[in-house]
Chains A and B, each alone.
Chain A
Amino acid sequence: MAIIKPKRSTPRLDMTPMVDLAFLLVTFFMLTTKFRPEDPVPVDIPPSSANIPKPLSLTITVSKDARTFIDMDGKFSRQRWAETLSKDFKLNLSDDEIATFSNMGAFGVPMTGLKSLIDMGTAERKAYQQPGIPLDSASGQLSNYLLYAREADPSLRITIKGDRDTDFKTISQVLKIIQDKPNEITRFNLLTTMKAGI
């Protein structure tokens, strides 16, 4: 009698569930990475060989067209900041507006424009060309923003985020405001990106 060999079939694995999982993960990361509030203006930071990661800070952004923005890390500190600013400068921010402010990113309007900026929706705010915080010494806007921010959270470092092609004139004005009374900050950080080579 002939020996009948059992038919050998190559083992096949159905890959389709794995593909589903892979695309699910990709979609998840694509959606969750959008939660960080976006910058009102794109800034191209200069390179350097510095290696210290950015600490929790008060970031002063200076764009290429010399507009100044400010941002604070820390939702609860932002809330305290908005509360004290509203009280002392008579901005009349409601609790809802303070809550929206705590979730906002960088902004660049004088204090008088803060309420109307918060009242714009997220989409309108993104499309709006913010004028920047005025740097003249008479209005003292940046100086006051800084003072109240540091009062809300004294542990924050000051970080300056400048565009590589910003004129030094504006940076110099910002540095003067930081070093002058009442802030008198002498230690701060400059935000830089990794340098190719070196």
Chain B
Amino acid sequence: MAEVPQGGGGGGKHKGGKPKGKKSSTHIDMTPMVDLAFLLLTFFMLTTSFSKPKTMEIMMPDKPDPTKPPPVINEHNVMNLIIGPNDRLFYYFGNDDPKSTEPIHVESTNYAADGIQKTLLLPEYKNNKQFMVLIKATPDSKYKNVVNIFDIMRITDSRSYALVDISPKEIELISAQAH
């Protein structure tokens, strides 16, 4: 056990007859140090639970049977959400027909609460039971944006959504918009 030496030290030696001057005691009060040590310990014990990673469950639709024809979807029930590079986000309605040469009117939006979240919560989409969102991402978009979109789906309680491949036509459309 440690001991804080009391008195001025040199007490074991016998000095000569000369009277020594009064030495001040070096008694250190350890209480604040103990308080600090326990405070730090408790702080780190609690804060290590803050950086626990969480997970988000994803369920992808099963691969469609190639022998069966694809289901016909009403144009207005489908929102195509396209994630672009540099945090850009676009959407348009209707089926993406590669043969159609009609220009698609693409809306630009963002990830904030007044952007795509607000659009998804509009009653015309929220109350439509057949409404579905097709999420497509360009190859040069960032993973964090895709995760953000999945999170927004969770927050807006959208049930019907799927991550699908982006078509070359859509990639061209987005690069025209982004520049």
Contacts and interface: CB of A to CB of B under 8 A. Distances in A.
Physical interaction between A and B: yes
Interface of A: 15-20, 22-23, 25-26, 29, 33, 45-55, 62, 159, 161-169, 171-172, 175, 179, 184, 186-195, 198
B154 interface: yes
Assign chain B's interface to a size class. 35 or more
Given A52-B56, A168-B139, A186-B61, A46 B147 contact: yes
Interface string B20-32: 0000000001110
Given A15-B30, A15-B34, A53 B52 contact: yes
A186 B44 CA distance: 39
Interface in B118-147: 137-147
A61 to B, nearest CB: 12
A103 B58 CA distance: 29
27 contacts: A15-B30, A16-B30, A19-B30, A19-B34, A26-B37, A26-B41, A48-B56, A48-B147, A51-B54, A54-B52, A54-B53, A54-B55, A164-B143, A166-B143, A168-B139, A168-B140, A168-B145, A171-B143, A179-B63, A186-B62, A187-B60, A188-B57, A189-B55, A191-B55, A192-B56, A192-B151, A193-B51
A53 B51 CA distance: 11
A186 B37 contact: no
Contact of A49 (B53, B55, B60, B155): B155
Contacts of A162: 143, 147
B177 interface: no
B57 A189 contact: yes
A16 B4 contact: yes
Nearest to A188: B58
Given A48-B150, A171-B146, A172-B137, 14 more contacts: A16-B4, A17-B1, A29-B45, A47-B144, A48-B56, A50-B154, A168-B137, A168-B138, A168-B142, A169-B140, A175-B163, A190-B55, A193-B51, A198-B155
Q: Across chains A and B, which 6 residue pairs bring their CB atoms closest together, nearest first?
A: A15-B30, A50-B56, A164-B144, A169-B139, A22-B37, A189-B55
Interface of B: 1-4, 29-31, 33-34, 37-38, 40-41, 44-45, 48, 50-63, 83, 137-148, 150-151, 154-155, 163, 165
A22 B38 contact: yes
